[in-house]
């Protein structure tokens, strides 16, 4: 899997950018980024800032996956990439 690290990073970045562009049209103006234990929204951001933050952090993780030359580093950033995908999906679920 390590020999495909560039392709994996490019696919992740593509999914991240395209998914967030499509989601921009369906999400409400204020994004819920955190839900309290009582089930109410705890932290909200404006849509443009919230999605920009997710793209920025996800892009940094995707670039790390593309640029790493050691397999141990790649595995660590691959886990971070999976967590970022989960965070993006959770933000979508909380807000749709």
* pLDDT one-digit tens code per residue, 3-56: 787 888 889 899 999 999 999 999 999 988 888 888 887 888 899 999 999 999
Distance of alpha carbon 43 from alpha carbon 53, whole angstroms:
14
Q: Nearest CA to 10 among 86, 92, 65, 52?
A: 65
Q: How many domains does the chain have?
A: 1
Task: Quote the domain boundaries for residue 33.
Answer: 2-95
Distance of alpha carbon 30 from alpha carbon 51, whole angstroms:
11
pTM: 0.82
């Amino acid at each position: 899997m390590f020999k495909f690290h560039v392709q994996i990073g490019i696919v992740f970045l593509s999914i991240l950018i395209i998914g967030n562009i499509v989601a921009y049209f369906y999400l409400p103006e204020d994004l819920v980024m955190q839900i309290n234990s009582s089930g109410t929204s705890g932290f909200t951001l404006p849509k443009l800032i919230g999605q920009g933050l997710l793209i920025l952090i996800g892009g940094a993780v995707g670039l790390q996956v593309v640029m790493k030359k050691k397999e141990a580093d790649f595995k660590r950033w691959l886990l971070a990439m999976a967590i970022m995908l989960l965070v993006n999906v959770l933000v979508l679920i909380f807000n749709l």
